[in-house]
Amino acid sequence: MHKNLVIIPTYNEKENLPDIIPYVLQLKKTFDILVVDDSSPDGTATVVKRLQQQFPNRLHLLSRPQKQGLGKAYIAGFKWALARSYEYIFEMDADFSHPPDKLIDLLKVLEDNDADVSVGSRYLKGKINVVNWDLKRILLSYFASLYVRIITGLPVKDTTAGFVGYKKDVLQAFDFNKIDFVGYAFQIEMKYLAWKKGFKIKEIPIVFTDRVKGKSKMNSGIITEAVWGVLKMRLKKT
């Protein structure tokens, strides 16, 4: 049984999986992969099944009946991971925006007991490490992170980051029935709750590159959810 699991949520990512899956499975450290697919109409699940023949036991697929958002996909993945006793569990996008080599650094932080949660951060030391995003998206993401820090006090620079490692006990401490955000607000809430529960969060620098293949699923609903969600989260008792 391996210790490390990377959860990759997918919706129409058939072009990216044949590249990213072998890449992650051939890293110097052993990471298994769980793809959580929401019945993508482009046949992403079929691509996973084909790759499973090449990487038996290391590549897993959780198929869900319909598109329910990133948050729900991750929660299903976390429950799957905890039921199988993985020690270190990672979130990563399918589209190479998160450099997969940095999984090794995220893992090291957890293995060395430097923190309970490790975050691949775009916004450290006053820098904005984003490639190929238009100015609007950079400003949106940067000011979203600032907004969250001001409202919640969360001591994390990149609060919406989706490249994250968790020790198993962090995920075990969550009541997933109480988390109902689906987009960026989900990523913010995971960090906020971990911090509130006294877990230590450490950020490491990464360069985020916009996707080359496939389409972004970001939409204005996700942004509205984040703006109101952060206020709601701050007022809610945890």
Rule CB under 6 A: which residues touch ligand GDP? 9-11, 13, 36-38, 67-70, 73, 93-95, 97, 211, 216-218
Q: Which is nearer to ligand GDP, 72 or 115 (CB)?
A: 72
- Pick the piece of the chain touching Mg ion (CB under 5 A) from 43-51, 70-78, 146-154, 203-211: 203-211
Q: Which two tokens stand for residue 176?
A: 């997933």
Q: Which is nearer to ligand GDP, 39 or 238 (CB)?
A: 39
CA 181/CA 174 separation, integer angstroms: 14
Using CB distances below 5 to 8 A depending on partner kind, what does residue 194 bind out of Mg ion, ligand GDP, none?
none
CA 171/CA 55 separation, integer angstroms: 27
Q: How many CB atoms lie within 10 A of CB 145?
A: 22
Query: Least distance from C-beta 113 to Mg ion, angstroms?
Result: 31
97 lies in the binding site for Mg ion (CB under 5 A) = yes
CA 129/CA 132 separation, integer angstroms: 10
225 lies in the binding site for Mg ion (CB under 5 A) = no
Q: Which two tokens stand for residue 97?
A: 């925006």
User: What is the number of alpha carbons within 13 Å of residue 141 lying toward its C-beta?
Assistant: 23
Query: Least distance from C-beta 176 to Mg ion, angstroms?
Result: 23
Q: Which is nearer to ligand GDP, 30 or 132 (CB)?
A: 132
